[in-house]
Amino acid sequence: MRIVDLSMTVEECDSAPFAKEEVYFKLKPIVKWEEKGFVSNMVEMTVHAGTHIDSPHHFFREKPSVEQLPLDALIGEAVVLDLTFKGTPKARITPEDLDRAERALEEKGLRIRPGGILFLRTDWPKGHSTTDPSWWNDSPYLTKEAAEWLVARRPAVLGYDFAQEEKGTDYQNAEEILTSGMRVHRTILPKITCQIENLVNLHQIPSHVKVIALPAKWRTESAPARVVAILDE
């Protein structure tokens, strides 16, 4: 058995690229090595730092929040759509692109299973960090029509290795995202159990793999998650 970590390491960063007034991840020492011989910290952070799980409550008040998510949906078989041909700056991922990736998956004898876990792989994380504005500003992204294609396949969980929100006439850069219509989130979140953002290392796993993706049990719309793939070797 081999375990592949699909989660980002989150390090200190004062400001979130998508909201300059937000702290991304900041440590506040309570006890220092020099004083007591051990260390203890507090953390101030956005719940959208690094690899995290968004519940439907993120955009829909009446929908479940993170602590209410069913764990059985977060442990199971995942299939990976290879979209590395769209892993370029500001690439628009369309239904036609998803059709192409689905055909390639089916040629391997695999299908997108309703109620399962579906990951989208572009390899955008290579050479990028979520604390760098270019992660957001130049990322590939789903169109609203692509989001509709995805929910039509009825996965329980969707995961991404790119900043999936569609760029449009109402915003272009990360710092403007909160003024946008957030069309992709609003299309996907009411139709699935949850989504996983900021995955990494999808190039290290096969197209069909067992996954465990558990968020911190916080009463919030989103929470950090440790996501791993388990390979039988």
Tens digits of residue pLDDT in 73-87: 999 999 999 999 999
Burial 178-193 (b: 16+ CB within 10 A, else e): eebebbbbebbbeebb
pLDDT in tens, 165-183: 887 766 677 667 777 788 9
pLDDT in tens, 56-72: 999 999 999 999 999 99
Beta strands 75-82 and 208-215 are: antiparallel
How much of the chain is in helix, strand and coil states, percent to nearest 5?
25, 30, 45
Q: Residue 124 corresponds to which tokens in the numbers above?
A: 């955008």
| Tokens 């992660």, residue located | 135
Is the Cβ–Cβ distance between 146 and 164 less than 8 Å?
A: no
What number does CATH give the domain 2-8+50-231? Answer: 3.50.30.50
pLDDT in tens, 125-166: 998 887 777 888 899 999 999 999 999 999 999 999 998 888
Q: Residue 155 corresponds to which tokens in the numbers above?
A: 């996965």
The partner residues of 53 in beta bridges, in order of sequence, read: 196, 223
Beta strands 25-31 and 141-142 are: unpaired
pLDDT at 182: 86
**Cβ within 8 Å of residue 176, ≥6 positions away:** 170
Is the Cβ–Cβ distance between 130 and 180 less than 8 Å?
A: no
The answer on pLDDT for 184 being more than 80 is yes
Q: What is the DSSP string of 166-200?
A: PPBTTB-SGGGGGGS--HHHHHHGGGSSEEEES--
| Chain centroid, CA 134 distance in Å | 16
3-state secondary structure of 144: helix
For the entire predicted model, the pTM comes to 0.93
Rounded to 5 degrees, what are φ and ψ at 100? -60, -45
pLDDT at 179: 72
The answer on pLDDT for 111 being more than 70 is yes
pLDDT at 128: 83
Q: Residue 122 corresponds to which tokens in the numbers above?
A: 């572009």
